[in-house]
Chains A and B, each alone.
Chain A
Amino acid sequence: MKKFAILVTVLVGAILVWGATDFPQWGDPNSPASTHVSDRYITEAYSASHVPNLVSAILADYRNFDTMFETTVVFTAGTAIFLILRLPLGPLARRRNSKHPQAERHPLPRDPILEMACRILFPPTHLFGLYVLTHGHYSPGGGFQAGVILGASFILLAIGFDLRAILARFPEGLFKPLAALGVLLYVGLGVLCLLLGGNFLDYEALRVLAPGISSAMIRSHGILIVECGVTLTVGSVIFGIYANLVSRGNHEGGL
């Protein structure tokens, strides 16, 4: 069986490598992507949106629809994980919890060095997440990375202290609506553009609300709003997945 699996893996790998020979050379200036698409992005992106980081401009402006559904996919995946892992509330959950009183049986030892280290590390991590979000226009970064870093900063606290301590400050009733709010912010901005007379997610329509701003700057601001939505969703989902995984869905105890 193992030999068969190795054979299949090698065969599929060989087919993939063989298929890749049809690709244009890496960095070939005559490939279709470089002659039509990239040219336009590189020459027009900055004047159209005042965003020096081309990746951000493409991700949140030119290919906005794609990114919107990526955010929706993250939200859907997070919701599915919550549905599978989270124990239902009510009398049934209480009975199942009393059957596995792991938090009571193994009281978590408190480690002052670990706690202090997490306490010191948390603010810079959090601040770095916000920096990545707001500076995504100028440097590598953006909504997805910022969301992961913000979620990770909460996970850091949950590891250093215990899950219950952090859930008291960032409760389930907060991070679940925040995940949905991120998607709502994204889609809502698109619908707002539609209502103001533009195309879906065409930020230029927002100029009606802020007449003094140039069309390039309003695109830049639109990208920032959309990235905030992505950050909210990704950060909440990352922390929610961790909280459900580590506690077998009952949100008690910690790592």
Chain B
Amino acid sequence: MTWVLDLFLLFFIAGTAIAALESKCLLTSAIILGAYSFMMCLVYAALGAVDVAFTEAAVGAGAGTVFFLSTILRIGRDTSQ
């Protein structure tokens, strides 16, 4: 039954990656990247690498998103600028 979870995660990861690229608003992209990190964290956990999953959750989804947000709130969230 693992392949069902893997397939779901694959579609979700590809979907969030494309959505983050195509989004016109930087703030949206940053939040979607946070979701992408959580999905990657689930992939690592499914592979049995719990330590890596923990690091991905803390660094990728936590600290990384905060850094993106703090930068975006300083430079403006519109990509056309």
Write the residues of chain A forming the contact surface with B, with a CB cutoff of 8 angstroms. Answer: 53, 55, 140-142, 144-145, 148-149, 151-152, 155, 159, 238, 241-242, 245-246, 248, 255
- B74 near A144: Cβ-Cβ < 8 Å: no
Interface size on B, residues (CB 8 A): 16
Q: Identify A140's interface contact among B54, B63, B69, B74, CB under 8 A.
A: B54
Q: Return chain A residues, CB-CB under 8 Å to B62.
A: 148-149, 152
In the bound complex, what is the Cα–Cα distance between A155 and B66 (angstroms)?
Answer: 9
- B51 near A142: Cβ-Cβ < 8 Å: yes
Q: Return chain A residues, CB-CB under 8 Å to B50.
A: 140
Q: Identify A242's interface contact among B51, B54, B58, B66, CB under 8 A.
A: B66
- In the complex, what residue of chain A is closest to B66 when comparing beta carbons? A155
- A246 near B51: Cβ-Cβ < 8 Å: no
Q: Return chain A residues, CB-CB under 8 Å to B51.
A: 53, 55, 140-142, 145
In the bound complex, what is the Cα–Cα distance between A185 and B53 (angstroms)?
Answer: 27
Q: Return chain B residues, CB-CB under 8 Å to A238.
A: 63
Check: B71 CB closer than 8 A to any chain A CB. yes
- A242 near B74: Cβ-Cβ < 8 Å: no
Q: A141-B51, A241-B67, A242-B67 are in contact. Are A148 and B59 (CB under 8 A)?
A: yes
- A246 near B59: Cβ-Cβ < 8 Å: no
In the bound complex, what is the Cα–Cα distance between A53 and B54 (angstroms)?
Answer: 14
Q: Return chain B residues, CB-CB under 8 Å to A241.
A: 67
- In the complex, what residue of chain A is closest to B62 when comparing beta carbons? A152
Check: B23 CB closer than 8 A to any chain A CB. no
- A255 near B58: Cβ-Cβ < 8 Å: no
From 7 to 44 in chain B, residues with beta carbon under 8 angstroms from any chain A beta carbon are none
Q: Return chain A residues, CB-CB under 8 Å to B58.
A: 145, 148-149, 152
